[in-house]
Amino acid sequence: MQFMNKILGISLLVLSLNVAFPAMSIAADVLSDKQRQEIENIIHQYIMDNPKVILDAVEQMQVRAEAAKQEHVKKQLVRARDLLINDPDSPIGGNPNGDVTVVEFFDYRCGYCKQVYPSVMKSINADKNVRYVFKEFPILGPESVTASKVALAVSRIDATKYKPFHNALMSARGSLTKSMLLKTAKDVGVDPDAVEKEMASPEIEKIIRKNYDLAQSLNISGTPAFVIGEQLVPGAIDYATLEKLIAEARGG
């Protein structure tokens, strides 16, 4: 009791000094070295006797940091809205005039992207009023970058061929070599020579860079990541969750 009374007394002293002299540095100008040492000793002993206060403080700090992060992302989603859903360089799936837009950041070498892919396709096929925006976001090495460059080249040559090409890569297993990618382009009906020429275009590099910058502004560092309505959803999600998020974005 005496110990806690001492803490309380010092706390009241500090509080009263703060109120009376707000511009004053208590530690530097009011307390003597002996007083500071006494306070430090009391605080140290209190923490040793009550270690949970540290855990509680860290937890509270993490909660506040997460809340601040979410608020930042929310503001960024508003600022980046047009680039997210109306970027002419991003391929579109589903209903181009759908009332809800789902944006996906993905990598062709991402196992989780391939895991969620059936849910994505099921949603597009089942809900004829969903608009889907594909954000090429190659972050898993050179093969990923090459795959995205080929995919974007296919889209720029013939936008109708992007979806079958995308489907083929999302269903593929093993390495995504350049020869395999060009063969896949040929299989879906696009001239591989034209693809190889187009993928070297500076415009392709600019699109990928633009997607990197957009992802960074939203604190997206992994794949897949979805933007549905006003929500940013990182990680793989199942069909039920995807449908729930779409319904929420629709106001249902």
pLDDT of residue 249: 93
Tokens of 194: 């034209």
Compute CA 164 distance to the chain's CA centroid, rounded to the nearest angstrom: 27
Q: Strand 231-234 vs strand 225-228: parallel, antiparallel, or unpaired?
A: antiparallel
- The number of residues making up the chain comes to 252
- Residue ranges of the chain with pLDDT lower than 50? 1-26, 28
- In three-state secondary structure terms, 177 is coil
Query: Is 112 within 8 Å of 119 (Cβ atoms)?
Result: no
pLDDT of residue 229: 87
44-77 tens-digit pLDDT: 788 888 888 778 778 878 777 666 666 666 787 8
Tokens of 191: 């001239």
Query: Is 134 within 8 Å of 93 (Cβ atoms)?
Result: yes
Phi-psi region of 127 (alpha: psi -120 to 50; beta: other; left: phi over 0): beta
pLDDT of residue 43: 81
Q: Which domains does the chain have, with CATH numbers?
A: 2-72 (no CATH), 81-250 (3.40.30.10)
